[in-house]
Amino acid sequence: MTASYDLIRRGARPRDNSITHPVSASADLELTGADPGIPSPLERIDSALRDPGFAAWVDADPTRADWTGTYAQGGWPGPTYPRQSRYAGIAGRAPNGIAELWLVRDLPGAIDAIGAAMIDPWTGEALDFQTQCSDGVCPAG
């Protein structure tokens, strides 16, 4: 494995960013142990779609016309989570992190409304479904 970055040195940033000195570090890694058998991304999507709240969010617009972002996958390692409304109450139920799948929709009065399914990344269990809108209140839909 090799990681590289440009060292610009201390002091004022040079006017010409091409004046850098590359720094590289490398190390051999040996991975050992049993495969934890975590659910694949497709298995996590299936789990999210089995959650009634997330399934209703996806199916609320059969034309998919209000979708502005498709299923995105991300996650948080836990045990703490960002101070966004969709993470309220998840810390106690997911101390070892979550995989988050979300669909962004444009709703009347709420551009870029997020519907998020929180999935246990180790078991694939759907833990929660939450919506989050920029003004804090998502309209029905």
Judge whether 120 lies within some domain: yes
Q: Render pLDDT for 18-75 as a digit per residue (tens, 0 to 9).
A: 555 666 778 888 888 888 788 988 899 999 999 999 999 999 988 989 888 766 678 8
Judge whether 106 lies within some domain: yes
Judge whether 15 lies within some domain: no
The whole domain housing 77 covers 41-132
Asked if 102 and 118 count as a contact pair (C-beta separation under 8 A), the reply is no
For the beta carbon of residue 34, count every other beta carbon within 10 angstroms.
5
Element containing residue 110 per DSSP (H, E): strand 110-119
Res. 3: pLDDT tops 80: no
Judge whether 137 lies within some domain: no
Judge whether 9 lies within some domain: no
Q: What percent of the chain has pLDDT over 70?
A: 77
Average confidence (pLDDT) over 66-94: 84
Q: What is the mean pLDDT of the chain?
A: 81
* Cα dihedral value 79, 71, 59, 106, nearest 10: 90
Judge whether 111 lies within some domain: yes
Asked if 23 and 4 count as a contact pair (C-beta separation under 8 A), the reply is yes
Res. 2: pLDDT tops 80: no
Residue 117 is predicted with a pLDDT of 94
Res. 1: pLDDT tops 70: no
Average confidence (pLDDT) over 128-138: 80
More confident residue, 26 or 138: 26
Q: Say which DSSP state 131 is in.
A: E
Please tell me the total count of domains within the chain: 1
